């Protein structure tokens, strides 16, 4: 994306959605889906168009093309000059951006609500009328390489994460970075961008989400007129990706970099994602992550390793169920000075085992349920985040009904579900354990 691409992990309950009374949906004849979320408190509208294609849909050897194309979508069309799209948004007092993830690519504008029609016209225009030049691609590729320099090459933590991820997925494209491998980005060209664009940018592969001070019937009417005029792509490929074979061997890696200030251990397990109509296991994993390693002050790992044993400055468990294919469940421990990474890892494993033996504290579980309920109230304060929730879900294999059922499914998770989910996924044959550290000096190795 132009300013930043989405990080892999999301905030715990950001996926909770509230009751459906202000959400309307429709599908155009050409297959484009629409979701409208009403909020009339301010004269603002957000338009997002989400394409069901992302980094994990790239052809082999072309990593980074989904993201580079997203940058190039701000260049010329048949009707606009390069850069004019954003210029018009700004001239209307709005802001705009794009974003790329493994499963989707999206474009967003935030404007006064009476400018929605104009935004739709421009977004529909670049869905089919993009006009790229070789010079556009060469310059923008340099920008993307600088983006990669800034986010990844300049950050030992990001390089470490990239290596761990590549080791976790044996066959699935989630093993590659969204921004692309540097040597592959450098080789991307105009034809790669156009081929990806022609294949995936079509109304039957897109979801329109509009949120804010709008009338759903009027939004549908405008969408029908503006996006409805674009023909579907009859050759849209089925969304099939290489899948993981049975994982049989534990993987371990160490990344040493002199720029590391704070060594840590992180373990990522392959884990199931939310599936349409079957979100229960993912819900149990969300609660597991929260109970085990959510708040430092109240989670099991925080209490045991930071408060009682004082072995760690930080611990965490993380899981994002929003994913088209198998996702990850992670554990982190950042040891206090004087505690080695080996000791930290052993303490972490010991604590996880103890947790599975003891089960979650019922009072803690009750508090988490209370927070899930409250998140439905708080989330109504930001329709933009609600819009993101729907856009991500609909491009990651879920339905509007799945999104609306999610808070109840989370609330129904029991202590037994949490332990069972943990026992199922904590299998080191399906995991990567990484150590991030300073290079060991010569004296230490002698």
Catalytic residues: 70
Which of 418-421's residues contact partners 24+ apart within 8 Å by CB, and which partners? 418/284, 418/287, 418/288, 418/291, 418/359, 418/360, 418/365, 419/356, 419/359, 419/360, 420/284, 421/281, 421/284, 421/285, 421/288
Please, what is the minimum distance in Å from the beta carbon of residue 41 to another protein?
6
Q: Which residues within the stretch 192-211 sit at the binding site for another protein (CB under 8 A)?
A: none
Cβ proximity to another protein: between 326 and 376 the closer is 376
Does 419 bind another protein (CB under 8 A)? Our answer is no
Q: Which residues within the stretch 301-320 sit at the binding site for another protein (CB under 8 A)?
A: 303, 306-307, 310, 313-314
Cβ proximity to another protein: between 266 and 270 the closer is 266
Residue 258: partners with Cβ closer than 8 Å, 6 or more residues away: 438, 439
Buried-state track 364-383, b at ≥16 Cβ within 10 A, e below 16: bbeebeeebeebeeebbeeb
Please, what is the minimum distance in Å from the beta carbon of residue 293 to another protein?
14
Q: Which of 295, 399, 404, 411 binds another protein (CB under 8 A)?
A: 295
First to last CA, the chain: 47
Q: Which residues within the stretch 41-70 sit at the binding site for another protein (CB under 8 A)?
A: 41-44
Please, what is the minimum distance in Å from the beta carbon of residue 381 to another protein?
5
Tokens of 41: 């408190």
Please, what is the minimum distance in Å from the beta carbon of residue 286 to another protein?
16
3-state secondary structure (DSSP) of residue 222: helix
Does 11 bind another protein (CB under 8 A)? Our answer is no
Q: Which of 298, 399, 404, 411 binds another protein (CB under 8 A)?
A: 298
Does 3 bind another protein (CB under 8 A)? Our answer is yes
Q: What is the rounded distance in angstroms from the CA atom of residue 397 to the CA atom of residue 2?
A: 25
Closest CA to 113 of 94, 87, 99: 94
How long is the chain?
Answer: 446
Please, what is the minimum distance in Å from the beta carbon of residue 204 to another protein?
22
Cβ proximity to another protein: between 92 and 411 the closer is 92
Strands 431-437 and 327-335: unpaired
Cβ proximity to another protein: between 36 and 432 the closer is 36
Cβ proximity to another protein: between 150 and 171 the closer is 150
Q: Provide the angle, in degrees to the nearest 10, between the axes of the packed helices 383-395 and 400-411.
A: 110
By CB under 8 A, the count of residues binding another protein is 76
Evaluate whether 13 touches 375 at the Cβ level (below 8 Å). Answer: yes
Does 143 bind another protein (CB under 8 A)? Our answer is yes
Buried-state track 126-156, b at ≥16 Cβ within 10 A, e below 16: bbbebebeeebbeebbeebbebbeebbeeeb
Q: Which of 142, 358, 408, 427 binds another protein (CB under 8 A)?
A: 142
Q: Which of 34, 54, 64, 94 binds another protein (CB under 8 A)?
A: 94
Q: Which residues within the stretch 265-294 sit at the binding site for another protein (CB under 8 A)?
A: none
- Which of 55-63, 253-261, 388-396, 427-435 is the region at the interface with another protein (rule: CB under 8 A)? 253-261
Q: Which residues within the stretch 319-378 sit at the binding site for another protein (CB under 8 A)?
A: 334, 336-337, 363-364, 366-368, 370-371, 373-375, 377-378
Does 163 bind another protein (CB under 8 A)? Our answer is no
Helical spans, DSSP H, in 280-433: 280-293, 300-301, 341-358, 362-378, 383-395, 400-411, 415-425
Q: Which residues within the stretch 72-91 sit at the binding site for another protein (CB under 8 A)?
A: 74, 78-80, 82-84, 86-88, 90-91
Q: Which residues within the stretch 103-122 sit at the binding site for another protein (CB under 8 A)?
A: 110-112, 115, 118, 121-122
Q: Which of 261, 443, 445, 446 binds another protein (CB under 8 A)?
A: 261
Q: What is the rounded distance in angstroms from the CA atom of residue 181 to the CA atom of residue 367?
A: 43
Q: What is the rounded distance in angstroms from the CA atom of residue 232 to the CA atom of residue 440?
A: 57
Q: Which of 150, 276, 353, 414 binds another protein (CB under 8 A)?
A: 150
Please, what is the minimum distance in Å from the beta carbon of residue 297 to another protein?
4
Strands 431-437 and 264-271: antiparallel
Q: Which of 133, 243, 353, 382 binds another protein (CB under 8 A)?
A: 382
Measured over the CA atoms of residue 400, residue 34, residue 243 and residue 434, the dihedral's sign is negative
Q: Which of 7, 133, 154, 340 binds another protein (CB under 8 A)?
A: 154
């Amino acid at each position: 994306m132009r300013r930043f691409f989405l990080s892999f992990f999301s905030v715990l309950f950001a996926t909770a959605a509230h009751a459906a009374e202000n959400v309307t949906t429709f599908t155009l004849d050409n297959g484009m889906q629409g979701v409208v979320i009403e909020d009339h408190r301010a004269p603002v509208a957000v338009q997002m168009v989400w394409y069901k294609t992302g980094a994990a849909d790239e052809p082999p050897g072309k990593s980074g093309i989904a993201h580079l194309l997203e940058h190039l979508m701000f260049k010329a069309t048949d009707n606009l000059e390069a850069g004019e799209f954003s210029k018009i948004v700004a001239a209307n007092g709005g802001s705009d951006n794009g974003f790329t993830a493994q499963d989707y690519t999206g474009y967003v504008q935030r404007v006064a609500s009476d400018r929605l029609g104009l935004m739709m016209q421009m977004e529909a225009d670049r869905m089919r009328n993009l006009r790229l030049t070789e010079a556009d691609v060469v310059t923008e590729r340099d920008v993307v390489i600088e983006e990669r320099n800034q986010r990844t090459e300049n950050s030992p933590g990001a390089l470490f994460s990239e290596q761990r991820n590549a080791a976790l997925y044996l066959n699935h494209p989630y093993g590659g970075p969204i921004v692309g491998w540097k040597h592959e980005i450098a080789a991307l060209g105009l034809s790669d961008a156009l081929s990806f664009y022609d294949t995936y940018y079509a109304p039957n592969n897109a979801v329109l989400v509009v949120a804010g001070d709008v009338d759903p019937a009027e939004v549908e009417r405008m969408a029908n007129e503006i996006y409805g005029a674009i023909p579907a792509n009859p050759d849209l490929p089925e969304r099939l990706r290489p899948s993981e074979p049975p994982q049989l061997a534990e993987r371990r890696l160490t990344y040493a970099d002199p720029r590391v200030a704070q060594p840590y251990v992180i373990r990522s397990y392959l884990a199931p994602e939310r599936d349409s109509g079957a979100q229960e296991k993912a819900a149990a994993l969300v609660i597991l992550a929260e109970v085990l390693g959510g708040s430092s002050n109240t989670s099991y790992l925080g209490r045991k390793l930071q408060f009682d044993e004082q072995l760690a400055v930080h611990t965490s468990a993380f899981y994002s169920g929003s994913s088209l294919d198998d996702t990850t469940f992670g554990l982190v421990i950042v040891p206090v000075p004087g505690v080695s990474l080996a000791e930290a890892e052993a303490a972490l494993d010991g604590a996880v085992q103890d947790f599975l033996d003891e089960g979650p504290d019922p009072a803690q579980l009750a508090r988490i349920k209370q927070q899930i309920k409250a998140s439905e109230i708080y989330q109504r304060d930001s329709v933009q985040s609600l819009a993101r929730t729907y856009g991500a879900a609909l491009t990651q294999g879920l339905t509007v009904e799945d999104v609306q059922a999610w808070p109840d499914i989370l609330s129904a998770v029991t202590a037994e579900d949490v332990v069972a989910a943990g026992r199922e996924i904590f299998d080191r044959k399906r995991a990567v354990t990484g150590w991030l550290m300073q290079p060991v000096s010569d004296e230490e190795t002698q």
